[in-house]
């Protein structure tokens, strides 16, 4: 795991956006795996800026989102499709047909999940998968106990996740308890994984991801087995890491090495 520890959430977003921008400049038809939640919002703002000032174009790129609430159509204001339209897709030159979010209102969700994985394969696989992390270590909506080789499927949300996400729903509004999510195996197939975490509420999950055992109890710990994963986290999210200083030392050494190769 490459662990990049930065001062604050602004620096995390800037660093993450730079990874996307560089990929897009090298590979205009890159396939991105995208995430919802509050964490990626600042990164999306930077991608919008980069697109609007013509540093990059998304016109040949495509995207696959991690997850969606089961039972919500893409028009629903709390759907993740709607979230992506509002916070990214409507502001960049990506073609709507090249953006994919699982269909929360699919007639047959089980078939839809299988088709989602097949479509990812047909498009050549995901170049960079962006992830946030739940306080319980979930990625996408793969809650603790999710199979570490699981594929896209219907998942039941934990009470903790429902409570964490209740802030997005009005009082009394229907909040789904089920979701469609890429599986951990689906995420692990991505060529590169970028996990962003900010704030001390994520410190336990980051500790379990990096220094805990490989275990379905912390779904993000599966990333220990990925060959190209970069965690970009702020000081607050890093505060429980026992070897924090060592990770910073590795990064400094990496940068020296990269500079000497230029
Ligand atoms: C949701 C999403 C996850 C996201 C997590 C954390 O449960 N399904 O993909 O990583 O929330 O969200 P936040 O970034 O708002 O803390």
The total number of structural domains in the chain stands at 1
| Domain span at 153 | 2-261
Instruction: Collapse the DSSP code of 116 into the 3-class scheme (helix H, G, I; strand E, B; otherwise coil) and give the result.
Output: helix
Instruction: Collapse the DSSP code of 23 into the 3-class scheme (helix H, G, I; strand E, B; otherwise coil) and give the result.
Output: helix
Query: Would you tell me the crossing angle of helices 41-52 and 9-26 to the nearest 10 degrees?
Result: 50
136 is catalytic: yes
Q: How many residues does the chain have?
A: 262
Q: Are 32 and 62 in contact (CB under 8 A)?
A: yes
Output the domain CATH number for residue 67.
Answer: 3.40.50.1360
Over its length of 262 residues, how does the chain's per-residue pLDDT go in tens digits? 999 999 999 999 999 999 999 999 999 999 999 999 999 999 999 999 999 999 999 999 999 999 999 999 999 999 999 999 999 999 999 999 999 999 999 999 999 999 999 999 999 999 999 999 999 999 999 999 999 999 999 999 999 989 988 988 888 888 999 999 999 999 999 999 999 999 999 999 999 999 999 999 999 999 999 999 999 999 999 999 999 999 999 999 999 998 999 7
Q: Whose CA is nearest to atom 10 of ligand 1?
A: 132
Instruction: Collapse the DSSP code of 62 into the 3-class scheme (helix H, G, I; strand E, B; otherwise coil) and give the result.
Output: strand
Kindly state if the Cβ of 140 falls inside 6 Å of ligand 1: yes
Pocket probe for ligand 1: among 44, 134, 186, the residue whose CB has the most ligand atoms within 8 Å is 134
β-pairing, 178-181 vs 67-69, is antiparallel
């Amino acid at each position: 795991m490459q662990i990049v520890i930065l001062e604050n959430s602004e620096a995390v977003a800037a660093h993450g956006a730079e990874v996307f921008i560089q990929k897009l400049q090298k590979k205009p038809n890159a396939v991105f795996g995208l995430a919802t939640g509050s964490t990626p919002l600042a990164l999306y703002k930077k991608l919008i800026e980069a697109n609007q000032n013509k540093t990059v174009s998304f016109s040949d790129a495509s995207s696959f989102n991690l997850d969606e609430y089961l039972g919500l159509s893409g028009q629903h204001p709390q759907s993740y499709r709607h979230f992506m339209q509002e916070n990214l897709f409507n502001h960049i030159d990506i073609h709507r047909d090249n953006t994919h979010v699982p269909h929360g209102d699919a007639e047959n969700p089980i078939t839809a999940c299988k088709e989602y994985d097949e479509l990812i394969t047909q498009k050549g696989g995901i170049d960079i998968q962006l992830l946030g992390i739940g306080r319980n270590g979930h990625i996408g909506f793969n809650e603790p106990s999710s199979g570490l080789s699981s594929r896209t499927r219907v998942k039941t949300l934990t009470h903790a996740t429902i409570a964490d996400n209740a802030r997005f729903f009005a009082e009394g509004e229907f909040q789904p308890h089920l979701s469609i999510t890429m599986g951990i195996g689906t995420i692990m197939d991505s060529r590169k994984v970028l996990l962003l975490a900010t704030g001390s509420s994520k410190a336990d999950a980051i500790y379990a991801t990096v220094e805990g055992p490989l275990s379905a109890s912390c779904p993000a710990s599966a990333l220990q087995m990925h060959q190209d994963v970069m965690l970009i986290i702020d000081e607050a999210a890093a505060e429980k890491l026992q070897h924090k200083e060592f990770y910073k030392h590795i990064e400094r050494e990496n940068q020296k090495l990269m500079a000497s190769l230029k």
